[in-house]
Amino acid sequence: MLLREFPDRTVWSAGLGALVGDPADPLSVLLAQENGMDIGAHRAQQINSAMCQRAELILVMEQHHRDELERRYPLARGKVFKLSEGDIADPYLQPRPAFEAAYADIARGVSVWSQRIRRLS
């Protein structure tokens, strides 16, 4: 979603416990398609020190992600923020309503952060 908002910027998706190389969950792919996005080529990757160094902003889904990221990569402190005020629950292995709720929470967070980024750019 952020890449759609900022096609001229580098946007990564990475996790702390990602199943490296795995594609997006089929429900995520379907919801993205229903909302005009193609994430079929997405493959999971782990965040690493180089990513943290290069990133201007790192957005996470849950507070414990922020805490763990800053613990593993202290140089990331000051540029790690939650995408939403509340935690966004991972819908992995959950039914479609959990994916829809996560998608809606992510979309709201992207909208808020997109406005903030545009104000600062």
Q: What is the pLDDT of residues 90-111, one digit of tens each?
A: 999 999 999 999 999 999 999 9
CATH architecture of 2-120: 3-Layer(aba) Sandwich (3.40)
Residue 23 and residue 42 in contact, taking contact as beta carbons nearer than 8 Å? yes
User: Tell me, what's the pLDDT at 117?
Assistant: 96
Residues 6+ apart with CB under 8 A from 96: 27
pTM of this prediction exceeds 0.85: yes
